[in-house]
Structure 1
């Protein structure tokens, strides 16, 4: 049978309370008693019961992470970083995938009870303000991303307008004039912000906006980028540069451009968004906007941890980004934004 606190205390010759203090990391234990307890813990192979310990602390030991699609590399990479950050606070992570639909996002919110989780990190795509009424007020919540919803919860994101403006400005700086955009989608808040940045960059460079160069993408997968590229290359005047609203769109576009005999970046320069690992190893490597994903993950988890013990005004935190310049636009070194 598994060893108990009583077994450890008996072997160490101390009280059960002393053993509990050592197991829970409290400092007010005499060094001699601590040594005895540690030796007894090793000898008995005692392992604390996580569930019971969390109940005594008034916590469940888990947080929820609600994301649209785990097969999107950005979200997959962010999930790993959030899990790592949560483990530092002795939290497990329960993951829910919603496909970005309002119905599934509402279901995820409704299932979040204070007896199940200590808090939630949510990247919404379709939720409306009224939907958050279904969330228990006892559950701290941090929102990720750019979906515009007016609710009193902490929010962590990057400045998408400025990031898109930086990406398109780079294409203008290297002499491109027919700059297309792949990723317009009226149902994605992120898309609206990145389209705004695209338009602002064109205006700053005195490049006229051409509606035929703005291509809608219902999804943000490689195949959508490839289909959009086919459409652009069939135009009477194809683009000489493309800003894609995520890396997968850019990778699909690059593949189709290569199949049709274009050289990148000589004939066509391409910029992505997200700086996923695949963008570094593609041929050519992909110039991309790089959000600080580690900072996004750490900030979101830290906000949840603070909410468990503190009362403070709602935080709206912008995380920095960089433009990673690679072979799809030039061979210049990376420069900070």
Structure 2
């Protein structure tokens, strides 16, 4: 016989209401109680009746995750999927090319109870559409909107720390790969601003052309940008890439040019992807805690679904420089 919510409550030593709060992801439950309830759920193999719950609430039990340019989109998506499943939600994912107009999610014919939007630049049309429809919205990227919750890394600080790491290894000709094609030098976006701030504090001015724009953050884009930089008369001895994928492409370009990484050119990425851990050489990176971002964002979206009029909050997730073989600590 299938376990019931009351069976879980009895085993965990809490009320049925508390079990319901944990299952639905409400934030006002202590970590200890949440742990006991989850252990009881796992032990009893409890499966909430999602159809009945959504029928009673008038909700779909679906969240939309829109990704457009955030670090480690695959890792973030998996973390969101895991966390949403724990709360009884399904997730539809929309991948948007940065800079391209995003449709109003989701595009698969299923209305969403809430939207998680990971984008370097907030698509205003999408935000306005969700706000007008009353759909809860949480931002996960660099962009801000005072009407929405936001959970993100201090991306300018992460870029500054990555560049500082290269400076600490003795590099002085440091280039950057991954700027937005329409980014203006007078109003740089956060990654570029952090990179330039670190150089400025070190008394260094990068030569013209040392910041390379890319349409995408793929390995191929990193390869092509690094190849152009390394072919210059004044090639860099350090490269900061705005994503790990770009950095892995840049390493390959250096190797193909007959250079040694890190002896001739050091490379650091941003994101903390699993791929970088196993590349050769292993990739130095700024690790972004996607589990914290996903967990916090889901807490905010569930809270906003239950209480639409609560004041928006902004949460900054931690980041950490991870020195590895491509740019070991000096």
Report the TM range for the smaller structure's normalisation: 0.7 to 0.9
In 2, are the aligned partners of 1:244 and 1:270 still within 8 Å (CA)? yes
Which of the residues 74, 77, 95 maps onto 1:76? 74
Is the radius of gyration larger for structure 1 or structure 2? 1
| 1:324 is the counterpart of 2:319 | no
| Alpha-carbon distance, 1:246 to partner | 0.6
Q: Do the aligned partners of residues 244 and 101 (structure 1) sit closer, same or farther apart at CA in structure 2, a change above 3 Å counting? A: closer
1:280 matched residue in structure 2:
277
In 1, are the aligned partners of 2:71 and 2:270 still within 8 Å (CA)? no
Aligned pair count? 294
- CA distances 1:182-221 after superposition (whole Å, capped 9, x unpaired): 11214479x7211111111111111122112221212111
Return the alpha-carbon distance in structure 2 between the equivalents of residues 21 and 257 of structure 1.
Answer: 58
Return the alpha-carbon distance in structure 1 between the equivalents of residues 285 and 48 of structure 2.
Answer: 46
Mapping for residues 170-249 of structure 1, pairs under 5 Å: 170-187=165-182, 192-249=189-246
Bigger relative CO (Cα 8 Å, ≥ 6 apart): 2
Return the alpha-carbon distance in structure 2 between the equivalents of residues 248 and 28 of structure 1.
Answer: 46
Which of the residues 139, 142, 147 maps onto 1:152? 147
Mapping for residues 266-277 of structure 1, pairs under 5 Å: 266-277=263-274
1:66 matched residue in structure 2:
66
Q: How high is the TM-score relative to the length of structure 2?
A: 0.79
| 1:169 is the counterpart of 2:168 | no
In 2, are the aligned partners of 1:125 and 1:188 still within 8 Å (CA)? no
| Alpha-carbon distance, 1:68 to partner | 2.9
Q: Secondary structure at the match of 1:175?
A: coil
1:100 matched residue in structure 2:
98
5+ long unaligned stretches in structure 1: 9-18, 30-45, 333-337
2:112 matched residue in structure 1:
117
Return the alpha-carbon distance in structure 1 between the equivalents of residues 251 and 267 of structure 2.
Answer: 8
Q: Secondary structure at the match of 2:263?
A: coil
| Alpha-carbon distance, 1:239 to partner | 0.8
